[in-house]
Structure 1
Amino acid sequence: MRLVMLRTLSALILASALAAQAPRTMRVDYYHTGTAASETFAPDRTVLEPLPWPGDPAKALDTSNLGKYYFEVVDRATNRVLFSRGFNSIYGEWETTGEARTTPRTFSESLRFPRPEGPVQINVKKRDARNAFREIWSFSLDPADPGVDSAPPPSPGAVIPIQRSGDPAGKVDLLILGDGYTREELPKFEQQARKLTEALFARSPFREHRRDFNVWALCPPSETSGVSRPSTGIHRRSPLGTSYDAFGSERYILTFENRALRDAASFAPYDVLEILVNGETYGGAGIFGQFSTVAAGNLYAPYVFVHEFGHHFAGLADEYYTSDVAYESSKDRPEPWELNATADPKAPKWKSLVKPGTPLPTPWKKEAFEKSSHETQARRRELRATKRPEAEMDALFEEEKVFETRLLGTDAHSGKVGAFEGCNYEGTGYFRAQEDCIMFTRDDVPFCAACAGAIERVIALYAK
Structure 2
Amino acid sequence: MTYSPYAFFGAALLGLSQLAYAAQPATIRVDYMHSGNAAAEQYALERVLVEPLPWPGNMNQAIDNSNLGNNKVEVTDLTTGKLLYSRGFSTVFGEWRSTDEASKISRGFQESVRFPKPEHPVKVSLFKRDANNAFVPSWSVDVDTDAQDVIRKQGPAPAKPIPIHVSGASVDKVDLLILGDGYTAAQMSKFKADATRLSKHLFEVSPFKEHAKDFNVWAMAVPTQESGVSRPSTGIHHASALGTRYDIFGSERYVLTTDNRALRDIAQYAPYEFIEILVNNETYGGGGIFGQFSTAAAKSDWSNYLFVHEFGHHFAGLADEYYTSPVAYQPSATKIEPWEPNATALLDPANLKWKDKVATDTPIPTTWPKQAYDEHAKTYQKIRAELRAKNRPESEMSTLFKEDLAFSKKLFSEAKFEHVTGAFEGANYESNGYFRPAMQCIMFDRSDKFCDVCSAGVEKVIQMYSTPGNNSK
Give the TM-score, by structure 1 length: 0.97
Q: Distance in 2 between matches of 1:420 and 1:110?
A: 37
**Distance in structure 2 (CA, Å) of the matches to 1:239 and 1:66:** 30
Distance 1:182 1:151 in 2: 28
Q: Which SS does the other structure have where 1:198 is aligned? A: helix
2:286 matched to which residue of 1? 284
Identity %: 52
**Match runs of 1:21-420 below 5 Å:** 21-344=23-346, 345-420=349-424
| Rounded Cα–Cα distance in structure 2 between residues aligned with 1:239 and 1:60 | 31
Name the amino acid aligned to 1:369.
Y
Evaluate the alpha carbon distance shift between residue 427 and residue 153 of structure 1 in structure 2; reply closer, same or farther with a 3 A threshold: farther
- Is contact 2:344–2:436 with CA below 8 Å preserved after alignment? yes
List per-residue Cα deviations over 1:315-339 (Å, max 9, x = no partner).
Answer: 0010000001010001311100111
Q: Can you give the 5+ residue segments of structure 2 that lack an aligned partner in the other structure? A: 468-473
CA distance in 1 between counterparts of 2:252 and 2:156 reads: 32
Aligned partners of 1:342 and 1:430 also within 8 Å: yes
Which deviations, in whole Å up to 9, do the C-alpha atoms of 1:52-94 show, x marking residues without a partner? 0000000000010100000100001211010000000000100
> Residue 412 and residue 62 in structure 1: after superposition, are their counterparts in 2 closer, same or farther (change >3 A)?
same
Instruction: Tell me how far apart the structure 1 counterparts of residues 123 and 6 of structure 2 sit (CA, whole Å).
Output: 36
In structure 1, C-alpha distance between the alignment counterparts of 2:50 and 2:4, rounded to whole Å: 25
In 1, Cα distance between the equivalents of 2:155 and 2:5? Answer: 19
User: Tell me, what secondary structure is at the counterpart of 2:175?
Assistant: strand
Task: Report deviation, 1:199.
Answer: 1.4
The 3 A distance-change label for structure 1 pair 7 and 115 is closer
TM-score, normalised to structure 2, is 0.95
Report the RMSD for the aligned CA atoms in angstroms: 1.7
- In structure 1, stretches of 5+ residues that fail to align are none
Q: SS where residue 330 of structure 1 aligns?
A: coil
Matches of 1:150 and 1:162 in 2, distance apart? 29
Letter in structure 2 aligned against 1:89:
T
* C-alpha distance in 2 between matches for 1:319 and 1:251: 17
Matched, 1:456 2:456: no
2:180 partner letter: G
Measured at CA, do residues 261 and 12 of structure 1 come closer, stay the same or move farther in structure 2, by a change above 3 Å? Answer: farther
Tell whether the 8 Å contact from 1:19 to 1:51 is kept in structure 2 after alignment. no
Deviation at 1:197, TM superposition (A): 0.5
Which residue of structure 2 aligns with residue 10 of structure 1? Answer: 8
CA distance in 1, matches of 2:4, 2:81: 45
Rounded Cα–Cα distance in structure 2 between residues aligned with 1:448 and 1:418? 11
SS of residue paired to 1:461: helix
The letter for the 2-side match of 1:365 is: P
CA contact (8 A) 1:8 1:158 kept: no
- 1:443 CA displacement: 2.1
Shift in Å at residue 10 of structure 1? Answer: 2.6
Amino acid at match of 2:125: N
* C-alpha contact 1:180 1:239 (8 A) present in aligned 2: no
CA shift in 2, pair 1:435/1:279, >3 Å: same
| SS state at 2:351 partner | coil
**Equivalent residue letter for 2:223:** P
| Inter-CA distance 18–238: structure 2 relative to 1 (3 Å threshold) | farther
Q: Distance between the aligned counterparts of 1:166 and 1:19, measured in 2? A: 10
Retained in 1: the 8 A contact 2:50–2:152?
yes
Deviation track 1:105-133 (CA, whole Å, cap 9, x = no partner) reads 00001000001111000110001111111
Change in 2 beyond 3 A, CA 1:380/1:370: same
Q: CA deviation at 1:351?
A: 0.4
